[in-house]
Amino acid sequence: MTRYFVTFATLLATIGWLVLSYMPQVAGRLPQLAFDGELAAWPLPLLAALTLLVFVVLQVNLVGATRGMFRHVSGSDEAEAIALFNLARGREIFWTVIPLGSTAMLAFWLWAAR
């Protein structure tokens, strides 16, 4: 029950934040943050590169785990789940690789636009 309450409260807070942040009378009162000057010249690109690296490592790990999910012996719980939900290896890996490809394309696009 608590899980549903926290999920619903988080959803409402996110929707409320989005609605309020786009209302002109409210947006003008919100604090303005700016990351400019010499202090932000080197840490922000470094932080972006580190975040990209962590995200790609996590996505590659997820693709590997998805591929490994189909290597279980017959009669195991994983094999039963694969049969029960009619999972196809190629289709599952395809849908798992899409975010990795999207991340790589976005990173290249942002790097090329610099």
Query: What backbone torsions phi and psi does residue 25 show, to the nearest 5 degrees?
Result: -70, -25
Closest by CA position to 106, among listed 36, 41, 43, 59: 59
Return the axis-axis angle of helices 43-69 and 89-113, rounded to nearest 10°: 170
Task: Specify the pTM.
Answer: 0.61
Looking at residue 58, its pLDDT comes to 94
Q: Where are the domains of the chain?
A: 1-33, 37-113
Spell out the per-residue pLDDT of the chain, length 114, in tens.
Answer: 889 999 999 999 999 888 887 888 877 777 777 777 777 777 888 888 899 999 999 999 999 988 888 887 777 788 888 888 888 888 988 999 999 999 999 889 988 887
Residue 39: both structure tokens together: 């202090």
